[in-house]
Structure 1
Amino acid sequence: MTRKICVVITARGNYAKMKHVMREIKKHPGLELQVILGGSIILEKYGRILETDYVDDFNVDHVIHFLIEGETPLTMAKSAGLAVTEFANAFDNLRPDVVLVIADRYECLAITMAATYMNIPVAHIEGGEVSGSIDESIRHAITKMAHLHFPASEEAAERIVRMGERPEAVYTVGSTSFDVLAEIDLDDLSSVVAYQGIAGAGGTISVEPGKYAIVIQHPVTTEYADNLAHIGETVKAMHSLQIPTFWIWPNMDAGSDGISKGIRVYREKYQPKYAHFFKSLPIELFGPLLKNAACIVGNSSSGIREAAYLGTPCVNIGSRQTGRARGRNVVDVGYDAAEIEQAVRQQMAHGRYESDGLYGDGAASGKIVPVLVSYDFSPQKAICY
């Protein structure tokens, strides 16, 4: 009998990370893939990345609307509460054998809660890491409810075991997004050039390797009131540098409106010809763009994970990635325009770094799927110390 694995996709980053895993689940004769969509992945405001040509032919079993507009701590809490209800209904309808969740988004905790209360085992990818923001608390809460763990690094795996999880339930696999990167031509920027002509807004940027920057700055939920001021410092730095820059819109966390407002004001006030703005990018385009960038700036985990794997310099701003293991490619700075500008100049002068395997080698899916097939799940958990 096949085992039904339910994968929930709620954000562009999660789809990029889960895409290859979903392919391998779908191909395996012992597994049946179930797909639920919800959150920002289905909304025009965040780019509706699933309507691009870079989407696999996955059958969607359920679509959920749980995101309450506002991007405040109140609406985030309400969205999480609504998500528990809606995911419980979806699970009751689909009857999965396992729910597979990734990382530390707030709705992933809601997914895990719904599954756990319904005695559906949970497998968690990218647990055991350390970071800033509310993500830190959510990640570890999911770990304590999950029944099977697929951390991206040995350090994260050791941390999961120290949290009282059974060592035999922990499998170090690496970052799943690397699997996609390993399969595409990262030196081919022609699709990025073409996509720039039909998507986004702003100037037309020359996509010359090593001559442009990428900026991705997400809100820090625990610094909600300061997000507008924080993005203002980044804007000042990039405006002073005036290098060709691709800006990618923030995620849907509380404080997103502040980040978005800062970017919009910058765009409308200065109309920078050296900047192009995207709501989102498929990983098949983002991968080559990141690999050939002179620097990635902001607070996205892409600067810590994918950029290290690709050897791209990163200027990491603020507290969102505090404590997360990082490679040699990262320079950390505060929310200060002069400090950001100096670090960008420093990283551009340095140039590319050697690829860092801290978060894996591009073969995570092949390690995850066999375990999903054979693992002996039980809804009952016990702390192991």
Structure 2
Amino acid sequence: MFITIVAGARPNFMKIAPIIKAIQASKERGKEISYRLVHTGQHYDKKMSGDFFEQLGIPEPHANLGAGGGSQAEQTAAIMTSFEKDLLAHRPDVVLVVGDVTSTMACTITAKKLNVDVVHVEAGIRSGDMTMPEEINRIVTDSICDHFFTTSEAANGHLRKAGVEDGRIHFVGNTMIDTLYQNLDRLQQPEIWQQKKLSDKGYFLITLHRPNNVDDVANLKKLLDTILSLTGGLPVIFPIHPRTKKILDSVGYANDNLVQVDPMGYLEFIYLVQHAKAVITDSGGITEETTVLGVPCLTLRNSTERPETVSIGTNELVGTDPENLRPYLHKLQGGTWKAAGIPDRWDGKTSERIVARLLDIYGRKKSASPETVLVA
């Protein structure tokens, strides 16, 4: 079996790393399986791409499509054009896409137009918010792919409601958690730890990237002011995208308790997550890691595509008004944060289940591509 694995943006890298390891382990056990890794280049700077490949042990991609930059439409077109050429030159038995970034959708459409099967890892998740580009990517990808590897029963339910039969839904768990477990003993203390004399549970960590939170300087200022007024004078660590930093610098925003740092590699960032008093975020993926690590998480959104992090895990859906943080932070400061658990099959063995299932589905097929002889 010959698989083309697609990765395009930072969240993808954490999801493909354990799958590649599981493929390599399966190959060492004598299974006929190989892969071709295609990096679309959607995230193309060092911190968004290179560091993650190095830290997570992801091999050098077989191809980099260099499709970064431009509007979403331009990026989609560039990915599709380049990926079509790659598929024609190296036709696989199946294309594996992960997550919900532009690359996921663009490569799915391209493969299906060439009559190549597509499997979607992290299929079926939904936020119900059509203003999110990711939601459109999820819906389009799941509407045409062939097999669905899911993280939760909620995702299974969304797919069944859309008419997908059970035989194509494979509840395997969460590859992000595989990566987390595989790297817990490798986490690296970032330089900021010693520089600011940080201590375990002695700081807050925030991540903000959604346009409605960071693009409007007045809204961003209000958000940060509110957070800083409610966090008890503890340091608030903010790994900040250069574009967001430029917005804050343009108005001279500063606060002694706000510590702005450059984007970090995976091992340094998860170290900060693990030791934080709490994480305040508008991300989805981080809520999965905080749930497994048992770290309180406050999500500044009105909806989430990962409801199990709220119903089972440590996450709370706060809403977009930063004032809504107040009662949650009072609970946190009072030591009454909710008890939490870990969702089913978030056990570090998801990638093994994915590869075993792929071999069941596609293992008997013989690819016409000479790339099947690659030792991946």
Q: Same-fold call, TM > 0.5? A: yes
Query: Does the alignment pair 1:331 with 2:320?
Result: no
Relative to 1, partners in 2 of residues 1:281 and 1:177: Cα closer, same or farther, differing over 3 Å? same
Aligned counterpart, 1:285 = 268
Distance 1:335 1:84 in 2: 34
Q: TM-score when scaled to structure 2?
A: 0.82
Relative to 1, partners in 2 of residues 1:22 and 1:233: Cα closer, same or farther, differing over 3 Å? farther
Per the TM alignment, residue 57 of structure 1 is displaced from its structure 2 partner at its CA by 5.0
Aligned counterpart, 2:12 = 14
Across the aligned residues of Structure 1 and Structure 2, the Cα RMSD in angstroms comes to 3.0
Aligned counterpart, 2:21 = 23
Per the TM alignment, residue 27 of structure 1 is displaced from its structure 2 partner at its CA by 2.8
Distance 1:311 1:224 in 2: 26
Distance 2:283 2:339 in 1: 18
Aligned counterpart, 1:142 = 141
SS at match of 1:108: helix
Gapped runs of 5+ residues in structure 1? 70-74, 198-202, 251-255, 379-385
Query: Does the alignment pair 1:297 with 2:280?
Result: yes
Aligned counterpart, 2:359 = 373
Match for 2:190 among 166, 181, 193? 193
Amino acid corresponding to residue 285 of structure 2 in structure 1: S
Contact 1:40 1:48 in 2 (8 A): no
Relative to 1, partners in 2 of residues 1:51 and 1:179: Cα closer, same or farther, differing over 3 Å? closer
Per the TM alignment, residue 331 of structure 1 is displaced from its structure 2 partner at its CA by 2.4
Aligned counterpart, 1:356 = 342
1:138-287 paired onto structure 2 within 5 Å: 138-185=137-184, 191-194=188-191, 196=192, 204-220=195-211, 228-240=217-229, 241=231, 242-249=233-240, 257=243, 259=244, 261-265=246-250, 269-270=253-254, 272=256, 274-282=258-266, 284-287=267-270
Aligned counterpart, 1:83 = 79
Relative to 1, partners in 2 of residues 1:287 and 1:279: Cα closer, same or farther, differing over 3 Å? closer
Per the TM alignment, residue 156 of structure 1 is displaced from its structure 2 partner at its CA by 0.8
Distance 2:253 2:175 in 1: 39
Contact 2:228 2:257 in 1 (8 A): no
Distance 2:58 2:289 in 1: 25
Distance 2:81 2:37 in 1: 17
Gapped runs of 5+ residues in structure 2? 365-376
> What's the % identity of the aligned pairs?
19
* Residues matched between the structures, number: 352
Aligned counterpart, 1:72 = none
Question: After superposition, what is the alpha-carbon deviation per residue over 1:92-146, rounded to whole angstroms, capped at 9, x for unaligned?
Answer: 2222221111121122110101111111110101111121323222212111111
SS at match of 1:309: helix
Contact 1:230 1:335 in 2 (8 A): no
Contact 2:42 2:69 in 1 (8 A): no
